[in-house]
Amino acid sequence: MHIPDGYLSPSTCIVMAATATPFWVVAIRKLRTALNARMVPLISLVSAFCFVVMMFNLPLPGGTTGHAVGMAIAAILLGPWVAVIAISMALLLQALLFGDGGITAYPANCFNMAIVGSLAAYAIYRLISGKEPLKSPRRIFAAALAGYGAINLSALCAAVELGIQPALFHDASGSPLYAPYPLSVSLPAMMAGHLTFAGVAELVISGGLLAYFQRADISLLRISAPGARDASLPAPAIALRPLWVGLAVLMLITPLGLLATGEAWGEWDAQEFSNPEARQVIAAASGHVQPPVHAPEGLEKLSAIWTAPFPDYAPTFLKSKNLGYILSAMFGGGILIVIGLVLSRLFRLGEHAAVEISQAIAKLTNGTSRQMP
């Protein structure tokens, strides 16, 4: 679902950036009101979780691969707007460091997964869960359906964005300049895998994690359940230790994501269009419709706009692909966690300074009032 550079025209990328920007602006404003010393580590942990879970590739029909995103659980733990920021952070890191998703296509990827995914997941979860208590089994069902619905809506957006390119952007002979397949191919190719395996994976992750949090730390579920019957009860401090442990385990088992062979649909390198074996794979995944003999002109030009330092989560200085995958997960997730820790520290210092300033003002005010006749 990560659209690479070259598959969307520059004008499409500009439109997607203009579409995503208002959502980012609202999300940043909401983030400012939600931030505190306890919330910042949770945001970085959820962002790192989404980053790592997207590294677990799943085999899909047609010989392609897909992955879960964690958008529903992010929206449930953080609320929809903060989840937009958390997933956008993960997608930015993936694009810059690992070439997973393009730089020019970054707004489109954020719109599909971070914005549509988070907002849709939250809406579905709230609609189905209603005012049920935080420990209600109905909330597990709601989270599962939220994950399934959100990832499929995200995939649908990506399929449409890719599928309209040949009709809108082509040369004088009618050859596509960017993504080569029309909607009649992109829609079934993308949706077949997400309505089945990838959607089910998101469903299991969302429902399973919510069930776990109901037992481990129910306070994590209060943000997305303002109308719950027991949401007004005193909230204990959030315990993040189980989340740290779970994230560490996920990082260590990331090589399982390498077991699924093949590439995600619509994420082929420009060179593969001229490779006979790769062309067969592309055609098999695209309803047996043959791709262009050569990479579309615009796709080939834009695909070289950015070279990630660790492409495909495989550092070139390591011979072991499994070790490289684990270290990439630790490196990427670690960066997001460090950002959270630094911000958390700054917030604690800011809160301490604010308390000292207020105390100093109070003392000054009291002293002045005593001196007045």
- pLDDT at residue 39 is higher than 80: no
- Give the model's pLDDT for residue 179: 97
Report pLDDT digits (tens) over 106-129: 999 999 999 999 999 999 999 999
With cut-offs at 50, 70 and 90, classify the pLDDT of residue 226: confident
How far is it, in rounded angstroms, from Cα 308 to Cα 178?
A: 21
How far is it, in rounded angstroms, from Cα 37 to Cα 198?
A: 35
- pLDDT at residue 351 is higher than 70: no
Dihedral sign for Cα 96, 100, 105, 110, please: negative
Q: How much of the chain exceeds pLDDT 90, in percent?
A: 66
Report pLDDT digits (tens) over 255-306: 888 888 788 999 999 999 999 999 999 999 999 999 999 999 999 999 999 9
- pLDDT at residue 369 is higher than 60: no
pLDDT mean over 53-60: 91
- Identity (one letter) of the amino acid at 41? P
With cut-offs at 50, 70 and 90, classify the pLDDT of residue 207: very high
pLDDT mean over 196-203: 95
Report pLDDT digits (tens) over 63-101: 889 999 999 999 999 999 999 999 999 999 999 999 999
pTM for the predicted model, two decimal places: 0.90
Contact predicate 43/85, CB 8 Å? yes
> Per-residue DSSP letters for 89-119?
HHHHHHHHHH-SS-STTHHHHIIIIIIIHHH
3-state secondary structure 155-224: HHHHHHHHHCHHHHCECCCCCECCCCCCHHHHHHHHHHHHHHHHHHHHHHHHHHHHHHHHHHCHHHHCCC
Averaged pLDDT score across all residues of the chain: 88
With cut-offs at 50, 70 and 90, classify the pLDDT of residue 241: confident
- Give the model's pLDDT for residue 51: 94
- pLDDT at residue 175 is higher than 70: yes
- pLDDT at residue 229 is higher than 80: no
- Give the model's pLDDT for residue 239: 64
- Give the model's pLDDT for residue 370: 53
With cut-offs at 50, 70 and 90, classify the pLDDT of residue 359: low
Question: 45: which residues sit within 8 A by CB, 6+ positions away?
Answer: 240, 243, 244, 247, 337, 340
Spell out the domains of the chain, with CATH numbers in brackets: 10-306+324-338 (1.10.1760.20)
- pLDDT at residue 234 is higher than 60: no
